[in-house]
Amino acid sequence: MGSLSLKDVHKSFGDVDVLKGINLDVEDGEFVIFVGPSGCGKSTLLRIIAGLEDETSGSIEIDDAVVNALPPTKRGIAMVFQTYALYPHLTVRDNMSLGMKQAKRPAAEIKSRVDLASSMLALDEYLDRRPAELSGGQRQRVAIGRAIVRKPELFLFDEPLSNLDAALRVNTRLEIARLHRQLAATMIYVTHDQTEAMTLADRIVVLHDGRIEQVGTPMELYNAPANKFVAGFIGSPQMNFIPAQILGDDEAATIGIRPEHIKLSPDGGKLKGTVSHIEQLGGDTNVYLDYGQADLISVRLFGQHEFEVESKLSADFDAKQSFRFDADGNTIV
């Protein structure tokens, strides 16, 4: 079991309110990811769940038991940090088994758990090496293995891929997804990287200014954002926001259009502008169009396309694929 319930959780540092009433239920076996901009409170919330930070008020329940007063070692959690937090003088085997040794578990049980975790993470040939002899990706796998050995009720990940290069981030992300399927364990994961969130999560929790803006599956957030903030945060390049009056809409304040839903042509579109920049990505082409407002229009085209900077183009879109927001930023349904 590994269910989690947060009930009206608040956290203040002096006069600064960091978390402003968080309510969330996570089911046993779910992979839930907290996302949001820097300072939104996502890491603080994770540390409160882990018992590394005290909440100002509210209730934290793991498997229906209130754990507010329990230290981290009694909460049935294991945490994986972005900095690995390995002991440099210990081998991989000893790093992975240290927690169980401190808990005075039988040697046979420790060996069995370490061997299983090592096999899952392809670490068998590195068990006798020390962290300095490993790559960044291997060190992170050791940190994950150390968590697996403990058989926790909850796995907590605090931006575990931030220190890895792009290729290693992809590989480790796939390993974490595979481990979730194998272990069927509850995982709470913090990241600022929406690609990680979209590709790993069963559900995403979008945080902003200490509050939950929306909770849903990746595609629910992408296709039905509750407000302008969520719409702009989920998706890359981010959603275009155009003043509604420019498009002849007197009921909305802003029209949102995803870059892949915009078509370009020499003329005949709803918006006319000048090509400001082009990003040739091989499989995709991103075109940025200056239409005389503060923000550029970003257009995502499949495949390779050639445009001249400073050339004149028109942008068009299907209104059925656009989003409408009121003056407060809420989605107009």
User: What's the pLDDT at 294?
Assistant: 74
Domains of the chain, by residue range, sit at 4-230, 238-325
**Per-residue pLDDT, 1:** 66
Q: What tokens does 52 get?
A: 């590394």
Full 3-state SS string of 22-56: EEEEECCCCEEEEECCCCCCHHHHHHHHHCCCCCC
pLDDT the model gives residue 115: 93
| Cα–Cα dist 150/67, whole Å | 18
What does pTM read for this prediction? 0.90
Torsion angle, CA of 261/264/265/267, rounded to 10 degrees?
90
CA distance 61 to 5: 5
The CATH superfamily of 4-230 is: P-loop containing nucleotide triphosphate hydrolases (3.40.50.300)
DSSP-assigned beta bridge partners for residue 66: 61
Rounded Cα–Cα distance for residues 25 and 30 (Å): 10
pLDDT value for 251: 93
pLDDT along the chain (333 residues), means of 10: 93 95 97 95 96 96 95 92 89 93 91 92 93 90 90 91 82 88 93 91 97 98 97 94 93 96 86 94 95 90 94 93 97 94
CATH number of 238-325: 2.40.50.140
Q: What does the buried/exposed string (b/e) look like for 46-77 if buried means 16 or more CB atoms within 10 Å of the residue's CB?
A: bbbbbbebebeebebebeeeebeeeebeebbb
Between the alpha carbon of residue 205 and those of residues 12, 213, 326, the distances in Å are 20, 8, 23
Number of neighbours of residue 253 by Cβ within 10 angstroms: 18
